[in-house]
Structure 1
Amino acid sequence: MSETRISAAAFADTKPHYELLDGLRGVAALLVVFYHIFEGLSFAAGGTLITTINHGYLAVDFFFILSGFVIGYAYDDRLGKTMSLGNFFKRRLIRLHPMIVMGAVIGAVTFCIQGSVQWDGTKIATSMVMLALLCAMFFIPAVPGVRYEVRGNGEMFPLNGPSWSLFFEYIGNILYALFIHRLSKKALAVLVGMLGVFLAWFALFDVSGYGMIGVGWTLDSVNFLGGSLRMLFPFTMGMLLSRDFRPMQIRGAFWICSVVLLLLFCVPYIENNGPISLNGLFEAVCILFIFPILVWIGASGKTTDKRSTQICKFLGDISFPLYAVHYPLMYLFYAWLIDNKLYTFGEVWPTALMVYIGSILLAYLCLKCYDEPVRRWLTKKFMPKKPAA
């Protein structure tokens, strides 16, 4: 997951800004936190089906298409012309990596608060926690079974699990800079079509065996393939949309898209009863068709007053920090659920609400006290100055 909101210094002086896409990204991030609360209840109960916001994992696929749209819009006509590859990579690192580092640090702190033990109770040496932190800060994923995979359930980034999607985001940015941006619109459309076929195959035939497309978080072969497809199709689809975008007149675009996302994420899990996965069919329809339409609608809409503009800006600003730092708090929440044998939302809703609000507050503090100042300093130090007029 990367940001929808692009720094004003990047191109606000030459291109309009899509405020509603910022807001939609924030809505999706808030729904992800809600989904992870119910994931914790499922995990504590021994792996039962996640309820209520059953398909919240599809927010990752929505993030990828938003990212592809905005990156294509921001850089297609500049990369290799007025912007070098080096400056593109520096800009992306400055935008993304400070919060990746912060998420890893908070993850290490919460792991130590838990007593530095794996889920099965195995004690982990402090040296391995520090090695896991170092690897996470340099974005080196853990292979399942290595000693610094400290939680013991195979995560790429055991101190902050959702960083797996940012790992694939980095891969997408590299591929975009090296060759995707050079493709003609026709060639890009062919690539998108091929990737869509492969993604549909992966979902419809339940290649992972999970009964869902919630893959990519670990480094086994099926997860790496699935994670790559989950990133590549929506990422390139977003870029294709940005190249051929023609806004349409639509009122209430933000609310329409927000309600549709909520409804899609709350569709109950569909059990597989045949060679074709019905749950995979639902996922494929969402990713291949509905999400691109939602991005198109969101990019077409406009905020109508100062208050709605402020709300969308806040949601856009908070979205990436919230995604980047909320999960370490979830680890603490999960451990509390397991220790107290609590498995239903009705039993834990006051604590769950505190975790939810606390995640938002933590993200806002990280944004204002760390992320924005650090990015300003890095931009001033490492990005080229514009010549005086």
Structure 2
Amino acid sequence: MTGDLRAETIVHPDATAAGKPHFEVLDGLRGSAALLVVLFHIQGIPIEFDGSKVILHHAPLAVDFFFALSGFVVGYAYDDRWIRMSVTQFVKIRLIRLHPLLVLGALLGFASYLLDPFAGSRQAAPLGSVLSALALMVLSLPARPLPNRWDDTHPLNGPEWTLFWEYVGNLAYALVLRRLTTTWLLPIMAAGAIALFWTGAARGSLDGGWGWSNLWMALVRLTYPFVTGLFLYRVRHHLPKIRLGFLPLTLILTIAILLPIWPEAAGVRWNGLYEAALVILLFPAIIIAGAHSDAGRGMIGICKISGRLSFPLYITHYPFLYIYMNWIFTRPSLGMILIVAAAALLFVLAFAWAAFEFWDKPIRARLKRAL
């Protein structure tokens, strides 16, 4: 045999359960947003999330970005399947997709609450209360607050509150939104945008919905992004085809989150208006640009890895950071904090990969065969 024969490995996008290829850039952006959340938590815990010292000031808005991505992806994956799919089947599919990692996150939170070596008396809650929280959170339901967990609605694993509302959005899609035309989605989007604008102007921030004291904000933060994501999927072919790619869009998202907290001036809470503008204008623009972008051979592998790790990273990292938080209370040196923070980042990334490979994938495969 003559000539130089070279085998080139081509990485293809992941596929949905129905065999549709993923939007690989959007997958990558989901991972970028999840990583920004983790970095925000690791850096913010030692300084008790003091706004003047936090670096990724607007990272909590990654939640709104997730909701918008979810609306887009749900529309893409299921809009054309309702002729042969019932609501019950849809619910089963979504439970298989989301619930195994949600359960793992609740179990990790339960273990970290009871076994944290640095908690001392700060987590001296009755075992019955902790077990009750676990039982509710395994079902993704809110639970009563626990000591040393602020007033979180999901006290064993704070980020799980977003999964509860993700389920709410999915049920709203299955029961109502899938039946609505794009014309009927517009007034819902308008009402959601007004609610976001009013909330930002009144509070100076959109960081809420995670606690019992600000529970009402969760519905505000879900409505506009989720419905807008669905709308963008349906009209994407009629919108400008801006192709920026994974890295430029990640940079834009990061810069938007990095910008400082805007001070109040002339009686206007500009920070809240800025955050509302990100959710109402910038995030939809990033999503439609990502949907029209091609990752290319050089980036598609990174986008796939980023997308696969995004959910396990987001839902499993915080139970470990509770222990990190309580360790901070022992007043270690700054140098030691930096070392442990770097180690914590590497650890939660490695754990997210293990959770995906050895928990999420095999459990979902078995559930698909069974159901």
1:267 aligns with 2:259: yes
Residue 16 of structure 1 deviates from its aligned partner by: 4.0
Q: Secondary structure at the match of 2:232?
A: helix
Alignment of 1:351-366 (within 5 A): 351-366=340-355
For the pair 1:296 / 2:298, whether they are aligned, the reply is no
Task: Read off the aligned partner of 1:267 and give its amino acid letter.
Answer: L
250-259 or 282-291: bigger deviation: 250-259
Q: Give 1:11 deviation, angstroms.
A: 2.4
Contact 1:61 1:234 in 2 (8 A): yes
Query: For residue 326 of structure 1, what is the aligned residue in structure 2?
Result: 317
C-alpha change, 1:151 and 1:138, in structure 2 (3 Å) is farther
Distance 1:326 1:24 in 2: 18
Aligned to 1:53: 56
Which deviates the most, 248-257 or 229-238?
A: 248-257
1:222-301 aligned at under 5 Å gives the runs: 223-246=214-237, 248-301=240-293
Q: Which residue of 1 aligns with 2:4?
A: none
Question: What's the offset of the Cα at 1:152?
Answer: 4.5
Q: Which runs of 5+ in 2 are unaligned?
A: 1-12
State the distance in 2 between where 1:179 and 1:215 align.
26
Normalised to the residue count of structure 1, the TM-score between the two structures is 0.87
- Answer yes or no: is the 8 Å Cα contact 1:116–1:124 preserved in 2: no
Partner of 1:74: 77
Distance in 2 (alpha carbons) for counterparts of 1:292 and 1:66: 9
Contact 1:257 1:298 in 2 (8 A): yes
Paired residue for 1:387?
none
Per-residue deviation at 1:74?
Answer: 1.3
Amino acid at match of 1:217: W
Separation of aligned partners in 1, 2:280 and 2:114: 41
CA distance in 2 between counterparts of 1:318 and 1:183 reads 33
1:259 partner letter: L
Judged with a 3 Å threshold, the aligned counterparts in structure 2 of structure 1 residues 16 and 99 are, in CA distance, closer, same or farther, namely closer
**Runs of at least 5 residues in structure 1 that lack an aligned partner in the other structure:** 1-5, 383-389
Contact 1:129 1:150 in 2 (8 A): no
How many angstroms does 1:250 deviate by?
Answer: 4.5
Question: SS where residue 299 of structure 2 aligns?
Answer: helix
Structure 1 position 114, deviation (Å)? 1.9
CA contact (8 A) 2:16 2:22 kept: no
State the 1:113 CA deviation.
2.4
Per the alignment, do residues 258 and 152 of structure 1 end up closer, same or farther by CA in structure 2, a change over 3 Å counting? Answer: closer
Offset from partner CA, 1:217-266 (integer Å, 9 cap, x none): 1123xx22211110111000000000100275555421121001110111
Deviations 1:44-75 (A, max 9, x none): x8x56451111111111111111110101111
User: TM-score, normalization: structure 2?
Assistant: 0.91
| CA–CA separation in structure 1 for the residues paired with 2:366 and 2:345 | 31
1:258-312 deviations in whole A, cap 9, x for unaligned? 001110111111222443210011101100000000001100000221x421111
2:161 maps to 1:164: yes
Are the aligned partners of 2:140 and 2:163 in contact in 1 as well (CA < 8 Å)?
no
Question: How many residues were matched structurally?
Answer: 358
For residue 152 of structure 2, the aligned residue among 150, 155, 177 is: 155
Matched, 1:339 2:323: no
Please say if 1:24 is aligned against 2:29: yes
Structure-2 separation of matches of 1:224 and 1:357: 32
Residue of structure 2 equivalent to 1:315? 306
Q: CA contact under 8 A between 1:23 and 1:315: conserved in structure 2?
A: yes
Contact 1:128 1:150 (C-alpha < 8 Å) held by counterparts = no
Q: Secondary structure, in 3 states, of the residue corresponding to 1:127?
A: helix
Q: 1:50/1:156 Cα in 2 relative to 1: closer, same or farther (>3 Å)?
A: farther
Letter in 2 for 1:73: Y
